[in-house]
Amino acid sequence: MPKDLRTYLADLERELPEEFVRVEREISAEFEVTAVLQHLDDAGRFPAVLFENVRDLSGRPGHRALMNVVASRRRIALAVGLRPDQYRTEVTHRIASAGNEPRPTVTVPRSDAPVKEFVFIGKDVDLRNFPIIRQHEMDGGPFFTMNMINVDPETGTYNGAFQRLMYRSPNETGTCMAPFDTYAIYKRYQAMGKACPIAYVMGHHPAFELAMGMRLPFTTSEYEVASNLMGEPLRLVESETFADKLLVPADAEMVIEGYMPPDVMKAEGPFGEWSGYYSGQRQGEIVKVTAITHRADPILRTIFAGHREHTSLGGWEGEIFRRASQAVPGVRAVSVAPSGVGMHVYISLKKRVDGDPKAAALAAASVGFAKLIIVVDDDIDVFQEEQVWWAVAVRFQAHDIDVIRGVKGSIIDPSNIHPTAHSLAIIDATEAKSRPFPTRLRVPEKVLQRIKLEDYVPGRDRVKVS
């Protein structure tokens, strides 16, 4: 059976049942789904949540919506073919290496494509038939937050990204594109005076999602990177609107097809951004919807914007690891930590000399976006933020902090007054080599080996839902 969102949910239920919640009760797509997620967040819990009875925009119940899937590294590990306990550096390496090794896709006939079970074209298109989630109080409308696909008209290379789409009418949505590859392709069509064809994927195996979220060279096909991350060729099928000029994933839950006209801009937003603040309203391109195809009883995937899964996709962790470990071979692990919404980077290393931490931090800084880089010794697990901050507390003094101004940053961070540059702080929280440090405390290793937790503490108290 080909991999899809359903095979993944079966894996999740089997391997990590404590990280998967089903909500059977009827619920509205307007703020109520996100209210449940907010309550979980407030309790420090981030399970994947499948809402099984959501009302669509016309008020009809019975739809399925899936949120928070990639809000945990254990679930990401499972998605990319690792064991859940391989969620640390193994995930970093797996995602980074997939980016370097695109693999072929395969095209299948329509009869073999579950996404074609239901097909709506032209005047039959009506976005109100779906539970588009309205997330935060001041959002400009309900938003899709998933994967837009477009194709470079010059080379035919497929590009995928997360791009939000704001519901505007039964067959129109609005976009907001930063100047990355999706936008560059739109501009190429615009220069030819043509509309840019797009397909929008609302749910697939999370390895597919992860591939779409990666920032790859313009010439790399994100579909082919998805083939690598999924561990099997991504199955594609002709679209209704553009036939073989725009292939779409055959095993997706739902695909929206359409085009961005070259010459129409409309007000878009506000939208609750990754920073935890709203972005303002602005003029954005629009998407005219030409067709919707979906599986029976589709599971529509949405990212909970401005919360943990929005910035958990590990897009640049691999590149930071590559640069830092090139500078300092003793680098053991890199974490782009949840607390910093992508801007806090923790590096652990086996230090040879006192200059190693700064060298590793500066190499990591060259990727841009980091606002705080903390370097720790290799006894610290950088995926446990409390451990990192313990090292800061007892191995660092504030007068040793380094601040570098004018490093590549983002205007979406509201504390930033420059549109593209911010300040970076580097903290070396490693034990100084130049003087002796006392010995760290630890329960005797022999006794730890002998005393098994499961023999003393009941199962349910051992598990922490993440």
Ligand X SMILES: Cc1cc2nc3c(=O)[nH]c(=O)nc-3n(C[C@H](O)[C@H](O)[C@H](O)COP(=O)(O)O)c2cc1C
Task: Tell me which residues touch ligand X (CB under 6 A).
Answer: 145, 159, 161-164, 176-178, 180-182, 213, 215, 303, 305, 310, 313
Q: DSSP readout, 389-429?
A: HHHHHHH--GGG-EEEEEEE--TTSTT--SSSEEEEEEEE-
Question: CB 305 → ligand X: shortest distance, Å?
Answer: 6
* Residue 64 or 164 with smaller CB distance to ligand X: 164
CA-CA distances (angstroms) from residue 443 to 103, 186, 297? Answer: 47, 59, 53
| DSSP per residue, 148-189 | EEEE-TTT--EEEEE--EEEEETTEEE----SSHHHHHHHHH
Tell me the closest approach of the beta carbon of residue 37 to ligand X, in angstroms. 14
* Token duo for residue 299: 């599971």
Quote the Cα angle for 463-208-156, to 5°: 165
Q: Rounded to the nearest whole angstrom, what is the least distance from the CB of residue 318 to ligand X in the complex?
A: 13
Q: Smallest distance, Å, CB 174 to ligand X?
A: 10
CB of 454 to ligand X, least distance (A): 37
Identify which of residues 67 and 380 has a Cβ nearer to ligand X in the complex. Answer: 67
In the bound state with ligand X, the residue whose beta carbon lies nearer, of 114 and 197, is 197
Query: In whole angstroms, how close is the CB of 162 to ligand X at the nearest point?
Result: 3
Q: Which is nearer to ligand X, 66 or 375 (CB)?
A: 66
Smaller CB distance to ligand X: residue 105 or 182?
A: 182
CB of 278 to ligand X, least distance (A): 13
Sign of CA dihedral 270, 411, 365, 221: positive
Closer Cβ to ligand X, 163 or 430, answer by number: 163
Is the Cβ of residue 260 or residue 426 nearer to ligand X in the bound state? 260
Taking the least distance from each CB to ligand X, the nearer of 89 and 159 is 159
317-327 vs 356-365: helix axis angle to the nearest 10? 140
161 strand-pairing partners: 148
Cβ proximity to ligand X: between 69 and 429 the closer is 69
Is residue 67 within 8 A of residue 48, CB to CB? The reply is: yes
Least separation, in Å, of the C-beta of 178 and ligand X? 3
Alpha-carbon span 156 to 149, nearest angstrom: 12
- Which amino acid is located at 105 in the chain? T
Q: Which residue, 236 or 361, has its beta carbon nearer to ligand X?
A: 236
Q: Which of 248, 315, 246 has the alpha carbon at shortest distance from 114?
A: 248
**Cβ 175 to ligand X, closest distance in Å?**
7
Q: Give the DSSP H/E element, type plus range, for residue 449.
A: helix 445-450
Rounded distance between C-alpha atoms, residue 139 and residue 417, angstroms? 23
Q: How far apart are CA 200 and CA 255, in angstroms?
A: 5
Minimum distance from residue 133 beta carbon to ligand X (Å):
12
Q: Are the C-beta atoms of residues 305 and 166 closer than 8 Å to each other?
A: no
Distance CA 348, CA 111 (A): 51
Q: How far apart are CA 246 and CA 258, in angstroms?
A: 11
- Residue (of 234, 226, 161) closest to 200 by Cα position: 161
